[in-house]
Chain A
Amino acid sequence: MRDHFARTMHEVGHKVKDVFIVVADISPAGSMAPFRADFPDRFINVGVAEQSMIGLCAGLALRGCRPFAYTIATFSIYRPFEQVRDDVCYHDLPVTIVGIGGGIAYSTLGGTHHAQEDVAVMSALPNMTVMAPCDPAETALATWAAVERNGPVYLRLGKAGEPDLTSNAPDPYVFGKVRRIRQGKDICILSYGPITKMAFDAAEIIERESGASVAIVSVHTLKPLDREGIARVLQQFSTVVVVEEHSPRGGLGGQVKEVAWESAARCRLTTLSLQDEFIHAFGSHAYLLGMHGLSVEAITKAVLAPVAR
């Protein structure tokens, strides 16, 4: 994802005037090299100083530039939260704040590096747009959408090596709209970010074991949320499952339940998320997700259990 982001920014740099990348000592070294080579004045490393990173970006945007701030998700939004709120959002400036390692992708680095509640925190800010693409191709599309968005954006990315999930997607990517990326008619899984891969793995097992067909929808834009699109999903499918790598508060699950209530949905609705707890453990990404109840088996079980009953 980070490589696709960097490659896309190189294209953006050539097509859009006054694009800056401002990092706080974290950067995808190899893939950012072409941008740095072509725009040496517009790649800025402020050092380990995230307040400066966001303040600088807001100042650049006040002069009409299009800055992208980039570092690990926790550092990009938590340390400089007031700069994000006051400098970027209150002024409604076109600054994109990129958080890599959204969720608990940095699974061996401990809780200080886990962005478990980033979507909730960023979504609470007026003027903020929140995007979380599910794979490298969607990352490129979301990066362009961020450029075209004339206001603050939080772009939540994974790390590196995420598989392609969208090359056969039935729906195109449209900013602000939910996107069907796997065809199905009985069950629908709503997800965002790299954990969407887990939904694909579960879908295959569910189809094999139950014969029901499973659709997957990428909710790549979390704010503004496509409430009409979600209401349609809740009408069309008899079972809807939300899978998210995020705290149960303020993410997608609760909002889908709001839409379900407001649209008088009759489907069965299950939400799976991280727990409202910090993680004091180290291991693979899958291991940590499993500790909080997020696994292919857990999704499969949540979908199939009532059928078996």
Chain B
Amino acid sequence: MGVSSPGIETAADRCRRYRRHILDISQRGVVLHIAPAFSCLELVDAVYHELMRRDGDLPDTFILSKGHGCLSQYVILEDLGVLTAAHLEGYCKPGGMLGSHPDYGIPGIEASTGSLGHGLGLGVGMALADKVRGDDRQVFVVLSDGELQEGSVWEAMMLAPSLGITNLVALVDLNDFQSLGRTSETLPNFYPMKDKVEAFGWECREVNGHDSPAIVAAVKSRSGQKPMMVLGRTTKGKGVSYMENVPIWHYRSPSPEEYQQAIRELEAGR
């Protein structure tokens, strides 16, 4: 359990509540992508609760480039009052608005994603518009480590610092898994990642991607002279023992028994 004063919810408490909510949704229908939502949850939570300005005329922007992690975004948007319980009730159901990838036009969703390798390019364009207009806005993009295999990500990484963009923060969910196995085993020469990111002109910090204060501190410590990429080392399926690092949970939905076990593990704080 996180260290908490009575009545004050820590990021750890909040993320536990979000995981539980995602598991609840899984019992109302077939749900894909629970494990990848669990791995990026603290990263997405940190952006919404600690890093981005969500009000005013020029709010910051969040793009979930790893669109398959969108359950994390949906439960947070509901918690913030941007989406309603009814929106989440309709998840992947006829007449509902929410599907397994974020769709532009849904409240709080600023870009449609799902095909990997698109979000960072969009983010660079938005950040450029802000820079040219002199608007004080930041753009946050969450990517997956499998997504870094898309060439378009590296085109965007090459471009952002070359355009002098500094108002862009990318956070990578480095859970070391892609559909068919470990990312580090699929393309071993691709690692380590940090030196490559820095070589492309970005400021880069590596953190435990489930340590909310560390994520926030890393982003807040940036120089502001370059775009920033935070590499968050994460565990796919984080928080539920049988999901952790087991590839099938990229797709599977828990049975009622598995659901009960998952809830028990979350409550026990593991």
Contacts and interface: CB of A to CB of B under 8 A. Distances in A.
B152 interface: yes
Nearest to B137: A63
B83 interface: no
Contacts of A90: 104, 112
Contacts of B122: 55, 58-59, 62, 87
Interface stretch (B33-41, B123-131, B225-233, B240-248): B123-131
B112 A60 contact: no
A59 B125 CA distance: 4
Interface residues of B, number: 29
Interface string B107-144: 00011101101101111111111101100000000000
Contacts of A259: none
A31 interface: no
A6 B208 CA distance: 50
Contacts, number: 89
Interface in A42-84: 42, 44, 46-47, 49, 51-52, 54-65, 67, 82-83
A54 B118 CA distance: 10
B23 to A, nearest CB: 30
B148 interface: no
Interface stretch (B156-164, B181-189, B215-223): B156-164
Most chain-A Cβ atoms within 10 A of its Cβ — which of B110, B125, B156?
A: B125
Chain B CB within 10 Å, residue with most, of A59, A82, A90:
A59
A297 interface: no
B129 to A, nearest CB: 4
Contacts of A47: 158-159, 162
B94 interface: no
A60 B125 contact: yes
B121 A83 contact: yes
Given A42-B132, A62-B111, A87-B118, A56 B158 contact: no
A62 B130 CA distance: 11
A186 interface: no
Nearest to B131: A41
A95 to B, nearest CB: 10
Contacts of B128: 44, 56, 59-60
A51 B153 CA distance: 9
Contact of A58 (B121, B151, B163): B121
A18 interface: yes
Contacts of B129: 18, 59-60, 63-65
Interface centre among B112, B128, B130 (most CB of A within 10 A): B128
Contacts of A56: 121, 124-125, 128, 156, 159
A67 B126 CA distance: 12
B79 interface: no
A86 interface: yes
Given A49-B158, A51-B151, A51-B155, A86 B125 contact: no
Contacts of B124: 52, 55-56, 59
A257 interface: no
B163 A44 contact: yes
15 contacts: A42-B132, A49-B159, A51-B117, A51-B151, A52-B124, A52-B155, A52-B156, A56-B125, A58-B125, A59-B123, A67-B125, A82-B118, A83-B121, A87-B121, A91-B111
Given A59-B126, A63-B125, 4 more contacts: A18-B133, A51-B152, A55-B125, A63-B129
Interface of B: 104, 110-112, 114-115, 117-118, 120-130, 132-133, 151-152, 155-156, 158-159, 162-163
